[in-house]
Amino acid sequence: MARLKSRVTSFDVAKLAGVSQPAVSRAFTPGASITKEKRDRILAAAKELNYVPNVFASSLSSKRSNMVAVISGNLNNPFYSETLQVFVESIQRTHRQVLAFSVQDGRDSDDVMMQAMRYPIDGLVVTSAQMSSELVKLSEGLGIPVVMFNRRVVGSELSGVQCDNFEGSAVLGRLMAAAGARRILIVRGDPQGSTSIDRVQGFRSAVDGVAGVEIEEVDGESSYSGARNAMIRRFNGPGPRFPDAIFAVNDIMAIGCADALNENFGLKIPDDIMLAGFDGIREGQRAPYSLTTVRQPVERMVAETLELLKAAPEDLKGAEAQRRVIPGDLIPGHTVPGMGRWAR
Amino acid sequence: MARLKSRVTSFDVAKLAGVSQPAVSRAFTPGASITKEKRDRILAAAKELNYVPNVFASSLSSKRSNMVAVISGNLNNPFYSETLQVFVESIQRTHRQVLAFSVQDGRDSDDVMMQAMRYPIDGLVVTSAQMSSELVKLSEGLGIPVVMFNRRVVGSELSGVQCDNFEGSAVLGRLMAAAGARRILIVRGDPQGSTSIDRVQGFRSAVDGVAGVEIEEVDGESSYSGARNAMIRRFNGPGPRFPDAIFAVNDIMAIGCADALNENFGLKIPDDIMLAGFDGIREGQRAPYSLTTVRQPVERMVAETLELLKAAPEDLKGAEAQRRVIPGDLIPGHTVPGMGRWAR
DNA sequence: TTGTACGCGTTATCAA
DNA sequence: TTGATAACGCGTACAA
């Protein structure tokens, strides 16, 4: 733990510039009352001494810390690393800083969130992780607004922004059913995660009533390798019968499925099996996959999240909880036959 | 700018627990001298009041802030978002926090770094961005250790960790030449970036002497679409002659090339054109590409970066600058024909 | 082990 | 517009 070298302080600058210490503070505060001449002199002295105001000290005194903590889970899923990127860029654009945390899948996230709350942050964004009721209480006590990103909290009523996972998946379900899917395999993600649950339910709601539809579910562990391995396990047995459609609840799993089907079983998509995912990650949109999927409008979701963060903590929970559900965008892609098949 | 709600302080906890304020501080400091009984009583009071120590205040007083700033450029390149992830996880593992910044390609990075230095951070990691000599001076004045990640700084002597870009690319050059490459197209990245420059030079050093070799260079803008578009522009003209090998200085561009060649020109890799990249990103390793490339050992590079950060700032610049050059690992892949061709 | 007194570097307050 | 002074919330001496 490096002890910080004692910094040049505003007092040092004040002495060199021949002014009082608060004057230095004003020189660095946009819109403060100070003559331009004096400010220039102070800034010159500051530059000479390599002085910049210490955010910690100023935050302590001003009771504002332009810091937002972002807790990301499952950064191996490109959707979440793309999302983190958008958060960083958006938050930075508003002259605030990002304190970044990651929670390994299945690891205790309470510990990490506790760390985050020791900072006097303006807000806390939680993606893809649960939050215990104890922590909800703590965040409240600390007056820190919390918004869940893409995660419906079971039990406690917290504010959050999410894509319309149910309806988006239902659209994919209808699309696949219309394209002739009857024997359908659903690749689940985290069985506890609301995202996976909602998508499975949404999809089923669209195909359950269709005549002749049989559905099977397997676990894909929310990851490329998880889905890939699930395919191999499932179809390597004696006399495997392939479904005619696969719905993976996220794109990275869909990609894992596609690779396994192609490489291990020589199947062509969509000729032999149709495939759909969810998220709209860049990788899935590229030529080798051209995945049929529903894109989560990340930019907008992030913007709404940051918007919610402005509210008082009391207005973000319980009965006041704000739930923003943003519709996703269907990306037709090439992995589900489209109207072309109907035209035949 | 949300004004932070005034927090519960150690004084409040002290009063409730019937002890002095420093006792509260000790209760939260591992290894401090305090009886277990008293500590328990204090922690109970703290929990009741939703108290957690304020990092800013404690840092101000203790002169240590377990915060490391990471400035990332070009997060659209999966290599850098994978790297950021490794930084976050590694730093978090040592009970420190990450202050994350991003610098858009070509944007002024000085401004962002200046923001970072207003924090009393333990260190600053800069990936894929330049640092002006003014900022170097400032970081020195502030006593903040700076380490460049994967970037050789032209002009100023700063410490840094990088992959052996020259030698790694030379290995790829030799591999391609041995596989029969003669008409070679090099897809450059950022023309100013040391990474791209070193890789181009390393590659050329290996093939320049080979009889019959012709080399052409084009700009791929360090991105998927940049490289993809470069292919289309280059080969769409009348009577395009395709090279027999393409070396893209990073994987994401190699993937862009592969997609364009396949989709727009119907070329098969490696049968019609062989292809190599650099970085070893996950996406490039997957079945549709199986890219021949050199993997940057990110985990090790990050570890060495954090190691360097422990040094005093004076020992990280000028004559004392530490340069750690880590060898990359050749991943044979399937996009350059291997010894199989020799065996024929 | 415990408490008192002080300092960390800044902004806020208020009188000049 | 300015400067003196008091917070901000916590660690750290030091004395008890």
pLDDT digit string (tens) for B282-323? 999 999 999 999 999 999 999 999 999 998 777 877 777 888
Mean pLDDT throughout B336-341?
68
**pLDDT, position B109:** 87
Chain B contacts of A259, Cβ < 8 Å?
A: 286-288
* Confidence band, pLDDT 50/70/90 cuts, at residue A55: very high
**pLDDT above 80 (res A338):** no
Give tens-digit pLDDT for A92-114.
Answer: 999 999 999 999 877 788 999 99
Do the beta carbons of residue B184 and residue B176 sit within 8 Å?
yes
List the single range of A293-297, B57-61, B72-76 with lowest mean pLDDT.
Answer: B72-76
pLDDT: is A199 or A191 the higher one? A199
Residue at shortest CA–C1' distance from D5:
A22
* B14 sits in which H/E element: helix B10-17
The answer to whether B288 contacts A283, with C-beta atoms less than 8 Å apart, is no
**pLDDT above 60 (res A158):** yes
Q: How long, in residues, is chain B?
A: 344
- Is CATH 3.40.50.2300 correct for B165-297+330-342? yes
The answer to whether B1 contacts A115, with C-beta atoms less than 8 Å apart, is no
Mean pLDDT throughout A167-188?
97
CB of A6 nearer than 7 A to strand D: no
Q: Given phi > 0 = left and psi -120 to 50 = alpha, else beta, which region is A107? A: beta
Q: What's B317's DSSP letter?
A: B
The answer to whether A145 contacts B2, with C-beta atoms less than 8 Å apart, is yes
Using DSSP's 3-state secondary structure scheme, residue B102 falls into: strand
* Confidence band, pLDDT 50/70/90 cuts, at residue B239: low
Q: What's B269's DSSP letter?
A: T
Give tens-digit pLDDT for A26-48.
Answer: 999 998 889 999 999 999 999 99
The answer to whether B2 contacts A282, with C-beta atoms less than 8 Å apart, is no
Same fold, A10-53 and A165-297+330-342: no
Q: Whole-number Å distance, CA A242 to C1' D6?
A: 76
Residue of B271, B190, B264, B268 lying closest to B233 (CA atoms) = B264
CA of B9: nearest nucleotide by C1' is D9
Distance from C-alpha of B279 to C-alpha of B202, rounded to nearest angstrom: 15
Q: Give the CATH number of domain B67-164+298-327.
A: 3.40.50.2300
Distance from C-alpha of B294 to C-alpha of B251, rounded to nearest angstrom: 9
CATH architecture of A10-53: Orthogonal Bundle (1.10)
Nearest residue in B to A77, CA atom:
B82
CA dist list (Å): B173 to A44, A256, B245: 52, 31, 10
Determine which of B3, B5, B228 to mutate to test the interface with A (most A C-beta atoms within 10 Å).
B5
Give tens-digit pLDDT for A211-226.
Answer: 999 999 999 999 999 9
Distance from C-alpha of A134 to C-alpha of B44, rounded to nearest angstrom: 14
- pTM to 2 decimal places: 0.95
CB of B62 nearer than 7 A to strand D: yes
Do the beta carbons of residue B301 and residue B295 sit within 8 Å?
no
Give tens-digit pLDDT for B19-55.
Answer: 999 999 999 999 888 999 999 999 999 999 999 999 9
Residue B9: both structure tokens together? 């302080």
Which of the 21-60 residues on chain A come under 7 Å of nucleic strand D at their beta carbon? 21-23, 26, 33-35, 38, 57, 60
Q: Whole-number Å distance, CA A266 to C1' C3?
A: 76
Residue A135: both structure tokens together? 């922590």
Write down the domain spans for chain A.
Answer: 10-53, 67-164+298-327, 165-297+330-342
* Confidence band, pLDDT 50/70/90 cuts, at residue B339: low
State how far residue A207 is from chain B, nearest Cα, in angstroms: 31
Which one of A99-113, A301-315, B84-98 scores highest in mean pLDDT?
A: B84-98
**pLDDT above 90 (res B119):** yes
Give tens-digit pLDDT for A314-326.
Answer: 787 777 788 899 9
Residue at shortest CA–C1' distance from C9:
A57
